[in-house]
Structure 1
Amino acid sequence: MSQRKKAVSASQNKTQRRSQVSLDEDDEDAHFSQITSSQVQRARENYTSDQIDRKVAEVVQFILIKDQKKIPIRRADIGKHVIKEYKAIYTEIMNRVFRKFDQVFGLKLVEIDSKNHIYILINKLEPIHGEPVNMRPGNPKTGLLFVILSVIFMKGGVVKENTVWNTLKKLRVDPGEKHDEFGDVKKVVTDEFVRQKYLEYVKIPHTDPVECEFRWGLRAEKEVSKLKLLDFVGELFDQDPQSWTQQFRDASAAETSSQRS
């Protein structure tokens, strides 16, 4: 078999595997929508309080492990790998999981996609003041992320990718070169941060050659305080955050909305 045919075959197999995973997830989600109130009642009678407590602990542990890579967690995966035969009381278990994260860990489990039932575990991220923007103890990538989120926010919520790359170059972080701290910078930004839902990276319609743009992702909207991010920018430029009138207004509105929710 020629190299080209092998490549085509490998690509087809990969596509088929992805399709099968998607079908499996759809099947798993379908189970939840088919649960009846009588099934819920029977399940409550069949399982003891201790059994449900153990299942809650298992779900918490599963989410904590998954969250180490900051990858969003699907309800289908929780059901398949942890909940299993307890699906009828999924809602009750998850309500207790939500409370456990809040009361014990000081974290917040948030459903960022109610249609596909996707969760993230959030803890308010804040810039570290007085430190280089590309460094943060334990996670150097956080500073890189804050720079990009800052650029997007200050430019009105959406920027072309060239704007981001040019900003990083000014900070001596070249997306075309391997970085000592971040490795493949472009991959971190367009793949890792996107999968983690910190960024959205989308093609701009009707552009030739194709251009892309960045926006804040769902996780960033939930996790990052825009007011504190504006303080971060103000410190970088030695300027009062309120001097950026529109950004300060937007950040204050976002903070008020976050406190209400």
Structure 2
Amino acid sequence: MTQRKRLSNSPSLSQNKRQSGSFMTQGDSEDATFTQPSTSQVQRGLEKVTSAQVDQKTAEVVQYFLVKDQKKIPVRRAELVKNVVKEYRNIYPEILKRAARIFDQVFGLKLVEIDNRNHMYILVNNLETTDSASPNEWLTNPKMGLLFVILSVIFMKGGVVRENLIWNTLKKLRVDQGEKHEEFGDVRRVVTDEFVRQRYLEYLRIPHTEPLEHEFRWGQRADKEVSKAKILEFMGQLHEQEPQSWTQQYRDAYSLSQGAQATTSSLR
């Protein structure tokens, strides 16, 4: 069986040519220089600053996240420390904890770590964390509707699909990667670059294929924001079938749905 290797931001891949759809976020090499402060270090750090200073820095962190969230770009700890926290890095955990509280109490958002290896965070609507937005809500936004279709195809096909299947499916919906779309513009760029940077999709090179081929999988953000159970319900309505008709998908959707309610990502 051919072993498929996932793309990652690991430095070990620097020896290989970067593949289409992969990306390097600023701060990859910087995070190694940051050591998470201990509880005692944070306490000592708080003794050296005023409450007003901590509140001001927390407000800057909140603003930074909100700006990034407008384009659904995940925030990496390294860039947050370098660009915003700066000289307050010794009390970083306290600042992040306060920011998370503000998101929850003021904005109704949950700060979630989607990648505990590279320490990447996103904001998720609190109302959607256990029962994600319905398909109808996604489909009222054309770009999100496009993403919903792609995620649905991937899920129904077992979690991974070759690129050609996605383009063929979209073409049936009059969305052609070779033509500029009046709503999306460059469809290929949106799918293989924008959705990938936002971590809704993974776009991976399939090793040992000639000509070169790629495949799509669900990204880390999609796992947090999109309900597979609702995708299955939507497909059932579309095909006039009970969701249980798709045995494996039904098992995956509802076991994951129940598990998600019992699991939360810790803030680091």
TM-score range, shorter chain: 0.7 to 0.9
C-alpha deviation, 1:243, in angstroms: 1.7
CA distance in 1, matches of 2:157, 2:41: 52
Instruction: Report the aligned-residue RMSD.
Output: 2.3
2:231 is the counterpart of 1:229: yes
Query: Structure 1: which 5+ residue stretches go unaligned?
Result: 1-14, 16-20
1:255 alignment counterpart: 257
Answer yes or no: is the 8 Å Cα contact 1:161–1:212 preserved in 2.
yes
**Which residue of the partner structure matches residue 240 of structure 2?**
238
Rounded to whole Å, the distance in 1 between the matches of 2:203 and 2:78 is 25
Q: What do the CA deviations read for 1:168-213 (whole angstroms, capped 9, x no partner)?
A: 1111111111111111111111111011100001011111111111
Q: Residue 148 of structure 2 aligns to a residue in which SS? A: helix
Q: Which amino acid aligns with 1:72?
A: P
Which residue does 2:99 correspond to in 1? 97
Q: Which has the larger radius of gyration?
A: 1
Structure 2 unaligned residues grouped into runs of 5+: 1-17, 19-24, 264-268
For the 8 Å contact 2:203–2:216, the answer to whether it is kept is yes
Structure-2 separation of matches of 1:184 and 1:231: 30
Distance 1:78 1:249, change over 3 A: same
Deviations 1:203-228 (A, max 9, x none): 11111111111000000011101111
Rounded to whole Å, the distance in 1 between the matches of 2:124 and 2:38 is 32
Question: Following TM superposition, by how much is the alpha carbon of 1:25 offset from its aligned partner in structure 2, in angstroms?
Answer: 5.2
> What is the CA-CA distance between 1:59 and the residue it aligns to?
0.7
CA distance in 2, matches of 1:237, 1:106: 35
Q: In the superposition, relative to structure 1, how do residues 194 and 25 fare at CA in structure 2: closer, same or farther (>3 Å)?
A: closer
Aligned counterpart, 1:18: none
Q: 1:126 aligns with which of 124, 130, 133?
A: 133
* Structure 1 residue 92: Cα displacement: 1.2
What SS does structure 2 have at the residue aligned with 1:120?
Answer: strand
Supply the distance in 2 between the matched residues of 1:250 and 1:35 (Cα, whole angstroms).
38
Contact 2:42 2:93 in 1 (8 A): no
Residue of structure 1 equivalent to 2:215: 213
> Which residue is 1:26 aligned to?
29
Q: Distance in 1 between matches of 2:237 and 2:258?
A: 23
SS in 2 for 1:222: helix
* Aligned AA (2:133): E
Aligned residues: 236
Give 1:194's aligned residue. 196
The 1-side partners of 2:101 and 2:40 are apart by: 26
Name the SS of the counterpart of 1:212 in structure 2.
strand
**Partners of 2:28 and 2:149 in 1: how far apart?**
35
- Kept in 1, the 8 Å contact 2:135–2:231? The answer is no
TM alignment of 1:167-206, pairs within 5 A: 167-206=169-208
TM-score normalised to structure 2 length:
0.81
Q: TM (normalized to structure 1)?
A: 0.83
Q: Which amino acid aligns with 2:234?
A: F
Looking at secondary structure, tell me which structure has more helix per residue: 1
Residue 126 of structure 1 aligns with an amino acid whose one-letter code is A
Distance 1:142 1:166 in 2: 19
Counterpart of 2:177 in 1: which secondary structure?
A: coil
- Structure 1 counterpart of 2:48, which letter? N
Range with bigger deviation, 204-213 or 100-109: 100-109
Q: Which amino acid aligns with 1:165?
A: W
Counterpart CA distance in 1 for 2:36 and 2:152 is: 44
